[in-house]
Structure 1
Amino acid sequence: MRTTRWATALALGVVGLAGCGSDSDGSPAAGSSAGESPGAVLATADSPLGEIVVDGSGLTVCVFDEDTAGSGKSACSGGCLRIWPAVVADSDTPAVDGVDGQVGTITRDDGTRQITLEGLPLYTYAADSQAGDVTGQGVQGVWWVVAPDGGKISAAGSSAPPPMPGY
């Protein structure tokens, strides 16, 4: 019985991956979405907090109060990044859809380009496992979901979990 489940899961994974890919010029293959293409793309989505910014996979984007807008630096490193992964891009001008604020990038110490909105570095929350989750809202009173204009949303989350340990 277990072997059958594993075989079924493996087959579904192979079928799912077969739909991903790119044309010979590196652009996403026909039928693939922005969330499947390399690099990050910012878009907007409706949520219990109103209209918010999401990354190319549909995960909610947050900002950190310890970051300083326009500084070119991120205050989140080491263990912090395991909980709050940086939203990264393959270029200095990431594609956006519906985002009104000024989008840019900073170069992290490891050489990756982290996307910024209104000068603030952007992150996702490791506890958000699927599109539409907003559990990072208000964590430790310093992490905030982002509105399309780049402002932080100050409304309380509907089901914010306790802070994740580790940083």
Structure 2
Amino acid sequence: MRRTHRILISALAAGALSTALVACSSPEGDDDPEAPDSETTEEATTDPAEEETDDAAAMGDVDLATAETSLGEVIVDGAGMTAYYFSNDVPDSGTSACEGDCLVNWPPITTESETPTVEGVTAEVGTITAADGSFQVTVDGRPIYLFVGDAAPGDVNGQAVQDVWWVIAPDGAEIGN
């Protein structure tokens, strides 16, 4: 029985899927020492930590969503990272003013489709063609970006950098400007 618990705990700690099979003894406790462990298996039950992983994966199915941060509710990409506007971008111009070294620190939020999938964003969402040919996501006609200084979801370290980078509210408004 101890071996079974170690296997189950190891599988859960490694983020195993709920469909992974775990070797265990019979429920009556009458283990047959001759029977190989693989003959008596059960499905592992879902662990709350796995549900959080599933929620994170589900967020990855959208291009934009909303999340709570220290600045309130903001637009985030599919991985939960904060989205930013660049004040030098002209709304509805179809281009990004962030080029060269700017893109190193402020990578564009891109999507595989001309019609991004959104959840919780009430502003108008679209795309423009980025310099590399990908679809850069726009909010209210303005290209949006990530900040390399944000290490984790919820970080807003790019807010007001050089007084031209702004976190975006779900309705498309700049936060703090």
Is TM > 0.5 for Structure 1 vs Structure 2?
yes
Q: For residues 74-93 of structure 1, what are the structure 2 equivalents within 5 Å? A: 74-93=96-115
Counterpart of 1:96 in structure 2 is 118
What SS does structure 2 have at the residue aligned with 1:140?
helix
Counterpart of 1:55 in structure 2 is 77
On the 8 A contact 1:34/1:41 being kept in 2, the answer is: no
What amino acid is the match of 1:129? A
What amino acid is the match of 2:154? G
Q: Count matched residues.
A: 129
What amino acid is the match of 1:121? P
Counterpart CA distance in 1 for 2:152 and 2:58 is: 16
What amino acid is the match of 2:159? Q
Counterpart CA distance in 2 for 1:52 and 1:46 is: 6
What SS does structure 1 have at the residue aligned with 2:104?
helix
Offset of 1:108 from its aligned partner? 1.2
What amino acid is the match of 1:95? T
Matched, 1:110 2:163: no
With over 3 angstroms needed to count, the CA separation of the structure-2 counterparts of 1:53 and 1:70, relative to structure 1, is same
Counterpart of 2:173 in structure 1 is 151
What SS does structure 1 have at the residue aligned with 2:173?
coil
Offset of 1:109 from its aligned partner? 2.0
Counterpart of 1:139 in structure 2 is 161
Counterpart CA distance in 1 for 2:131 and 2:100 is: 11
Identity of aligned residues (%): 49
Counterpart CA distance in 2 for 1:66 and 1:129 is: 24
With over 3 angstroms needed to count, the CA separation of the structure-2 counterparts of 1:94 and 1:112, relative to structure 1, is same
Matched, 1:73 2:95: yes
What amino acid is the match of 1:94? P
What amino acid is the match of 1:69? P
Counterpart CA distance in 1 for 2:102 and 2:77 is: 19
Which protein shows a greater Rg? 2
Deviation string, structure 1 residues 123-165 (Cα, Å, up to 9, x no partner) = 010000100100100000000000001111016xxxxxxxxxx
Tell me the C-alpha RMSD between the 2 structures.
2.0
With over 3 angstroms needed to count, the CA separation of the structure-2 counterparts of 1:34 and 1:80, relative to structure 1, is farther
Unmatched tracts of structure 2, length 5 or more: 1-13, 18-53
Offset of 1:34 from its aligned partner? 3.7
The two structures have a TM-score, normalised by structure 2, of 0.67
The two structures have a TM-score, normalised by structure 1, of 0.71
